[in-house]
Amino acid sequence: MSDEFNYGEIYAPIYEEYTTVQGKVAEVDETVAFLERYCNGGSALELGIGDGRVAVPLSQTGVKVEGIDNSCSMLKLLAERSDLIKAWQGDIAHFNSERRYNLVYCVYFTFPLLSTREAQIACLRSAAEALDDEGVLVIELWVPGLNPLVGGQQTTNARLVDHENTIVNVSVHDPLNQNLISTLLWFSGTSVRRLPQRVRYVYHQELDTMAECAGLELAERWGDWSRSAFTKRSERHISVYRRTSP
Ligand SMILES: C[S@@+](CC[C@H](N)C(=O)[O-])C[C@H]1O[C@@H](n2cnc3c(N)ncnc32)[C@H](O)[C@@H]1O
């Protein structure tokens, strides 16, 4: 991945503020309650651990949390927040874990940052190998909403407008590679920040197929962290996979 799209290095300086305005800090308790159920007080590995938004409170419940991230800046933020978590720099598409975990999880739309199908399947394979016999893989993914993109191939939409912030997302669609090349423009006070990213969007059924290739089968699928049903109106899903043959 080129540096132009290194999510962690681009977002680290503003990550806490950004996740707060996006409501991701507010939903952490629900996320942790969801994930904790699969750990039995044991161990968990977060793929793309970031600044520990989820990992730190999960570790405070008694779960032994470890994590991988490819961004030095994100790992530095994590180290500043907690010394309870062992985290290392690496690529979540290709990792070998020395130990097995009750839970491996990849949340907040980290998975599509792997911008090729091969990288996504490799990630699922690495994750499957890191699970213990009863372990589960939890992935949070957004449901692609592509209608505005199909005709024009590019779109601009307002993500957030309040009395202090305006966040606008401009995307160009590359349908051959299922890629969205986007720039978030974040206007706040007198400053404007430009945050580029490239993602490969995936529908839930394709995720299931890739997971099957990696030796995983779907066990549960929910529409949010409070276990609402996943329906045709859902804008995201939380999918739980088990190994097909432990
Ligand atoms: C959207 S943030 C999510 C961070 C954290 N999981 C959370 O929920 O707040 C994505 C994280 O994944 C990391 N990341 C992106 N691509 C990666 C890759 N190929 N290997 C390892 N980490 C990656 C980024 O550096 C960033 O910290």
| pLDDT at residue 74 greater than cutoff 70 | yes
- Segment 108-126 mean pLDDT: 96
Residues 162 and 83 reside in one and the same domain: no
Residues 67 and 156 reside in one and the same domain: no
Residue nearest atom 14 in ligand 1 by C-alpha distance = 48
pLDDT band of residue 189 (cuts 50, 70, 90) is confident
CATH number reported for the structural domain that contains residue 206 in this entry: 3.40.50.150
Neighbours of 173 (CB within 10 A): 20
Residues 192 and 134 reside in one and the same domain: no
Helices 117-129 + 204-213 axis angle, to 10: 60
Residue 3 has what pLDDT?
66
| Among 96, 94, 97, 20, residue whose Cα is nearest residue 51 | 20
CA 45 – ligand 1 centroid, Å: 13
Domain count along the chain: 2
Atom of ligand 1 nearest to the CA of 106: 6
Residues 175 and 107 reside in one and the same domain: no
Amino acid at 110: T
Q: Where are the beta strands (DSSP E) in 144-178?
A: 154-161, 165-174
β-strand partners of 137: 104, 241
Residues 60 and 89 reside in one and the same domain: yes
Residue 175 has what pLDDT?
79
Q: Which domain holds residue 162?
A: 147-199
| pLDDT at residue 241 greater than cutoff 80 | yes
CATH number reported for the structural domain that contains residue 163 in this entry: 2.20.25.570
Residues 121 and 95 reside in one and the same domain: yes
β-strand partners of 173: 180
Average pLDDT value over all residues in the chain? 93
Residues 21 and 82 reside in one and the same domain: yes
Tell me the pLDDT tens digit for each residue of 149-182. 665 567 788 888 998 899 999 988 887 888 889 9
Residues 229 and 139 reside in one and the same domain: yes
pLDDT band of residue 1 (cuts 50, 70, 90) is very low
Tell me the pLDDT tens digit for each residue of 29-45. 999 999 999 998 899 99
Residue 240 has what pLDDT?
98
Q: Which of 69, 118, 140, 182 has the most ligand 1 atoms within 8 A of CB, as the residue to mutate? A: 69
Would you give the distance in Å from CA 235 to the centre of its chain?
Answer: 15
Residues 61 and 170 reside in one and the same domain: no
Residues 50 and 123 reside in one and the same domain: yes
Residue nearest atom 8 in ligand 1 by C-alpha distance = 108
Q: Which of 15, 70, 120 has the most ligand 1 atoms within 8 A of CB, as the residue to mutate? A: 70
Q: Which residues of 183-204 are buried (b: 16+ CB within 10 A; e: fewer)?
A: ebebeeeeeeeebebbbbbbeb
Amino acid at 79: A
- Segment 46-68 mean pLDDT: 98
Residues 134 and 193 reside in one and the same domain: no
β-strand partners of 154: 172
Residues 187 and 239 reside in one and the same domain: no
Residue 152 has what pLDDT?
56
> Which residues line ligand 1 at a C-beta cut-off of 6 Å?
7-8, 19, 46, 48-50, 53-54, 68-71, 74, 91-93, 107-110, 113-114
